Structure 1
């Protein structure tokens, strides 16, 4: 069995209990004009301990379906958000 994909993104919402919304940004090239574009995908991820907060950079991995839209789980916090 193949290793589960790990994606790095930024937490944009932590209002759920045991869940966060992670925005993953990637660069793609426009098909016709060739200019680079930034595209964002939002994933809901399971966060059992409620440790991730808004602004944190986290790594998420594939998991079994945990709810209707939750298909990922937070594996580690890469970088904490700066507190001002």
Structure 2
């Protein structure tokens, strides 16, 4: 009986959300599904308490976990492997150029329109001295 397999166990891939104690990690497993009637894409998450015997998992790591017998009141999963190391709190800080690029990428559409309007107004003022153009757009 020692060499028999117990059947196929469920495995999941997720991100370590926190490490509350020495041999425990909380892994967030995300899934995406489409609603059967409304066809809306719904994303959901499940937080699994994982037994980590060697303490290999750190916050932000991508890990593979496997279902196992109950280890404690909440732990029902075991850490199989660390797939990729995450960027922890001790990583390099973002440079000023990276921060500005991120801010530009998250700028809302209203702010983008306002910036474009300001640029257009400055362009109109520079052309105000040309013949045949009056401010306000009315032709005489």
Structure 2 length normalisation: TM-score? 0.57
Show structure 1 runs of 5+ residues with no match: none
Partner of 1:22: 27
Task: Flag the structure with larger Rg.
Answer: 2
- Consecutive aligned runs of 4 or more in structure 1 exceeding 3 Å deviation: none
Which is strand-richer, 1 or 2? 1
Structure 1 length normalisation: TM-score? 0.92
Higher relative contact order (CA 8 A, sep 6+): 1
Which is helix-richer, 1 or 2? 2
Show structure 2 runs of 5+ residues with no match: 1-5, 93-140
Q: CA RMSD in A?
A: 1.1
Instruction: Name the count of aligned residue pairs.
Output: 84
Partner of 1:52: 57
- Give per-residue Cα distances to partners, 1:26-63, cap 9 Å, x unaligned: 01112331111110000000001111000000000011
Q: 3-state SS of the aligned residue for 2:26?
A: strand
Is it true that 1:42 corresponds to 2:47 in the alignment?
Answer: yes
Partner of 1:79: 84
